[in-house]
Structure 1
Amino acid sequence: MKRFTAALLGTLCATALTVPLSPAAHAAVGEVVVYTAEVVELAVFDNPRGCYAIPEGAHVMINRTNKDVQVFGVPDCGGGFPTPPIWVLQENYGGHVPPAAASFKVP
């Protein structure tokens, strides 16, 4: 009985340690819209989560989400390196995409 209790207690402790203590990251609610030109379909990113490449020739970005959009001058939003954004587009705002923009994410 003592072995069973010890095994059960050990399993419960191990399980408790695997439960995350911080809240899970949630995707932004809404959409990010990128306009390139009159003859090119809009790029629409619904409920964005993670990093996205900015379409080549992007002219205007509109943030219709509930979070800020961070724009980076490098692909893959820095690819694991601490890269600061070159532009932060606030929620429910739009603006001209900087020529150096390569990727964006909604943290």
Structure 2
Amino acid sequence: MHRFGAAAVLAAAGLLLAFPTGASAAPADTGEVVVFRTEVAQLTTYDSPRGCHKLPADAHVLVNRSDRPVRVYGDPFCLTPGLTVQPGYGAHVVPGSGSFSG
């Protein structure tokens, strides 16, 4: 009986360490979102982006190099339903008036 109780306490402690709570559980805002526009334009880089960002008018590809998902929208105000781009992945974006949020 005593072993079971100790094992349960250790298991609960392990779960608390694996899934921290409170302010320390928030993911760090690290990384960047990179947007490819054209072969003659430099890459546009957004460091640790938060909130809504309008994409350049000639944007073609968005690459999420941050540590959390970003959402790509078809409008400049991040209002329409969007596509989620996971960390380490990219997406084609329609040139025009799109945006993304991090």
- Find the counterpart in structure 1 of residue 59 from structure 2: 58
Report how many residues are paired.
80
Amino acid at match of 1:77: C
Contact 2:57 2:97 in 1 (8 A): no
Q: TM-score, normalised by structure 1?
A: 0.64
What are the equivalent positions in structure 2 for 1:1-107 lying under 5 Å apart? 23=23, 28-78=29-79, 83-85=80-82, 87-99=83-95, 102-106=98-102
1:27-71 residue CA offsets vs partner (Å, 9 max, x unmatched) = 731000000111111100001011100111111111000111101
| Deviation (angstroms), 1:95 | 2.4
For 2:99, the aligned partner's letter is: S
CA RMSD of aligned residues (A): 2.3
Q: Which runs of 5+ in 2 are unaligned?
A: 1-21
> Which of 1 and 2 has greater Rg?
1
Structure 2-normalised TM-score?
Answer: 0.67
**Contact kept? 1:27, 1:47, Cα under 8 Å:** no
Q: Which runs of 4+ in 1 moved over 2 A?
A: 25-28, 98-101
